[in-house]
Amino acid sequence: MEETKVVQDNSETSGSKKVVSAKKNKKSKDGAFSKISGFFAGVKAEFGKIIWPAKDDIIKQTTAVVVVSIICCALIAVLDIVFEYGVNFITSVF
C-alpha cells in the first residue's frame, strides 16, 4: 500500500504544497521461495513480450553476415600479402 501526504513547503522561495509519497514497510512472511517464483513469473511474462523475427528475416541477416565476413577475410588476406611483400622488399634493400 502506498500512503500519500500533502506537505507544506516553508522555504522562502516557494510557498507551494508538495505531495510526498511514502511506502509502508511490511515484512514479507512469504519467504524466499515465493520471491523466486515471483521472479520467474516476471521472466515468463517478459519472455512473452519478445517479438521473434520471421524465417525470411533470419535467412537474409545470416546471409549478410556471412558475405560481409568473407569480404573482410579477403581484404585482410590481401593486405597481409601486400604488407608482407613490402616488408620483404624493404628488408632486402637494406
pLDDT given at position 36: 92
Check pLDDT > 80 for residue 12.
no
User: H or E element: which one contains 20?
Assistant: strand 17-23
Determine the pLDDT at residue 32. 85
Q: What digits encode the pLDDT tens for the residues 52-93?
A: 999 999 999 999 999 999 999 999 999 999 999 999 999 998
Q: How many residues does the chain have?
A: 94
Q: What average pLDDT does the segment 1-18 reach?
A: 56
Over residues 8-25, the mean pLDDT reads 54
**Phi and psi of 17, rounded to 5°?**
-100, 145
pTM (whole model) above 0.75: no
CB 21 within 8 A of CB 40: no
Beta strands 17-23; 2-8: pairing state: antiparallel
Would you give the distance in Å from CA 91 to the centre of its chain? 49
